[in-house]
Structures are given as C-alpha cells and as structure tokens.
C-alpha cells in the first residue's frame, strides 16, 4: 500500500469514527430517518456543487441500475437501518454487530469477485473481530444486551458489505469522486420519504443537532466516502474492509480526547488486538496472483 492510499485510509477512518458522536448529537433534535436525510441531503448538495463546477461526466446508461443498487445498499439501507437500530441497541452491541461486516465482505468477495484470503487472512479477521468484541464489552460496562433492533444493525452490516462488492467493478470505470456522487445521489432519493417531518424537526431542533447533521454530511459523508472509494479502487474489497476494525479504536480515542470519556482497560487492550489483526490481514492475508512467466 502506497503512502497516498494509506493517507486515504486514515482520512476515512478518522472521520467515520467521529460520525458516531455526530449521530448521537444529531438524534437529540431529529428522528433517525430525518437525520439520515439531513446527512445525505447535505452530502448530495456538496457533490452536486462539485459536479456543476467541474462539469462531471454523466454515467453510462448501462451502469445506472448497478449504481442505483450500490446507493440503495450502502447509503439508504445501511444508514437508515443503523440509525433506527441504535434507538434500542446499546452502542457496544451495535459496534460488535457492525464488526461482522468484514467477514460478510470476504465471503461475498470470494463468491462474486473471485477474491481469496489466505489462512493468515481469516486468522487476522478472527483476531481483529475479537479485539472489536473487547472494545464493545469495555464500552458497555462489561456486558452486552441485544434488543430486537439488533436485526437492523445486522442488516446494516450485510448491506455495507454488499455495497463494497457491488462498488468494486464500477470503480474500474469511474473515478472515486464520480462513483461516490452517483451512489450518494441514488441512495438519498429513497430517503425523501422522511422529508415531510424534516421541516418541523429542523424548526425545533437545537442548533448543535443541526450543525452535527451538516458535519456528518460533509465530512464523514461526502468527503470520507470519496476517500474510501479511492482506497477500494486500489485494493481488494476483502482486505480493505478489515480497516473498519480500526474505526472503533479511533472512536474510543476521539471520545477520550474530545469529550473526556476515559476508555476502559478492556477497550484499550481490544484496540491493540484489533490493530494487530488488521496488520496480519494486510501483510499476509491476501492471496497474491502468481507473477507471469518470463
């Protein structure tokens, strides 16, 4: 992995980790569906401004259905299911369920993209998952409770995994920013069902909640998704997805520095384990294609 790709990974994960605090703040003034619309409505506007200024090319007609599926899976289903699920599921339990996404991604990538992880890769995923579990337990005060909303969180994990797999072939034909714009626009359109309650909620929501919604739209939304598409265009989907195990580590650190939430020892230990697992996948986990004979 070259330096620019590594920087894109770091940029994405830092902003995605900060989104958890932003969502929590946004839900003070907005219902889950309306908050998702605020977030991706903002992201859509930002990307539309870019498209007009740069005269971004239109997508090919043959790709419209695949772009629509990518947006529906990765934007509509993932974020709406996650927001509604977190109403009843603890943050720790939610993070543990989302941590299953790299496993689903590896399985789907093997089935549809022909990607294969080595035994080291699966071991690394197992180690990283155990680290994520330790973080979830530490942040939940030593226990986890799975409410009925857990099925929505699990749906979010599966949908984001499918998004990675559907995105991969498209990123060979579109630049990361182009693909992200089309996917976010396609994923935002179904969220318009939440528009009727948005004006009323915006009128009564605290300024901090609205500001949080705009923030997660611009940074963890538009910019981070563009950055993630850049990474996905360069590396195997099964390997890229394991970087998601670093997001809970960053979220714990951000909460510690930003709002003074001191992490549990279990969370710190889990973070170390998760990073070790990701390192194994990235260094030994991807089955390399044999070099061509001379």
Q: pLDDT tens digits for 104-144?
A: 788 888 878 877 777 777 777 777 667 766 665 655 555 55
Closest CA to 137 of 93, 102, 86: 93
Dig out the tokens for 19 from the structure.
């989104």
Look up the pTM and report it.
Answer: 0.82
Q: Which of 142-151, 221-230, 238-247 has the highest mean pLDDT?
A: 221-230
- Mean of all residue pLDDT scores within the chain: 82
**Euclidean distance between CA atoms 210 and 82, whole angstroms:** 19
209: CB partners within 8 A, 6+ apart: 25, 26, 27, 28, 29, 30
pLDDT at 8: 93
Question: Rounded mean pLDDT of 35-47?
Answer: 96
pLDDT at 114: 79
pLDDT at 95: 64
**Euclidean distance between CA atoms 137 and 133, whole angstroms:** 6
Q: Which of 49-58, 94-103, 148-157 has the highest mean pLDDT?
A: 49-58
pLDDT at 253: 72
pLDDT at 290: 43
**Euclidean distance between CA atoms 70 and 173, whole angstroms:** 14
pLDDT interval class at 167 (50, 70, 90): very high
Q: Which long-range contacts (CB under 8 A, 24 or more apart) does 59-63 make?
A: 59/174, 59/178, 59/182, 60/173, 63/170, 63/173, 63/174
pLDDT interval class at 289 (50, 70, 90): very low
pLDDT in tens, 48-96: 999 999 999 999 999 999 999 999 999 999 999 988 887 776 655 666 6
pLDDT(234) > 70:
yes
């Amino acid at each position: 992995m070259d330096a620019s790709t590594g920087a894109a990974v770091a940029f994405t994960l830092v902003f995605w980790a900060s989104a958890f605090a932003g969502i929590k703040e946004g839900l003070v003034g907005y219902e889950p569906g309306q908050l998702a619309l605020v977030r991706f409505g903002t992201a859509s506007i930002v990307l539309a401004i870019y498209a007009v200024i740069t005269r971004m090319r239109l997508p090919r007609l043959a790709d419209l259905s695949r772009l629509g599926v990518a947006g529906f899976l990765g934007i509509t289903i993932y974020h709406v299911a996650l927001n509604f699920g977190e109403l009843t599921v603890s943050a720790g339990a939610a993070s543990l369920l989302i941590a299953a996404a790299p496993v689903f991604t590896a399985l789907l990538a093997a089935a549809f993209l022909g990607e294969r992880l080595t035994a080291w890769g699966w071991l690394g995923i197992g180690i990283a998952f155990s680290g994520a579990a330790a973080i979830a337990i530490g942040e939940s005060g030593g226990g986890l409770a799975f409410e009925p909303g857990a099925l929505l969180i699990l749906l979010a994990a599966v949908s984001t995994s499918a998004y990675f797999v559907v995105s991969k072939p498209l990123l060979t034909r579109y630049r990361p920013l182009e693909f992200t714009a089309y996917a976010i626009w396609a994923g935002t359109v179904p969220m318009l069902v939440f528009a009727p309650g948005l004006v009323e909620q915006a009128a009564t929501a605290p300024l901090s909640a609205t500001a949080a919604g705009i923030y997660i739209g611009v940074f963890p939304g538009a910019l981070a998704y563009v950055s993630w598409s850049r990474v996905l265009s360069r590396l195997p989907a099964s390997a890229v997805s394991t970087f998601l195990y670093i997001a809970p580590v960053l979220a714990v650190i951000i909460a510690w520095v930003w709002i003074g939430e001191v992490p549990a020892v279990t969370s710190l230990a889990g973070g170390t384990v998760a990073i070790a697992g990701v390192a194994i996948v990235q260094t030994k986990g991807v089955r390399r294609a044999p070099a061509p004979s001379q």
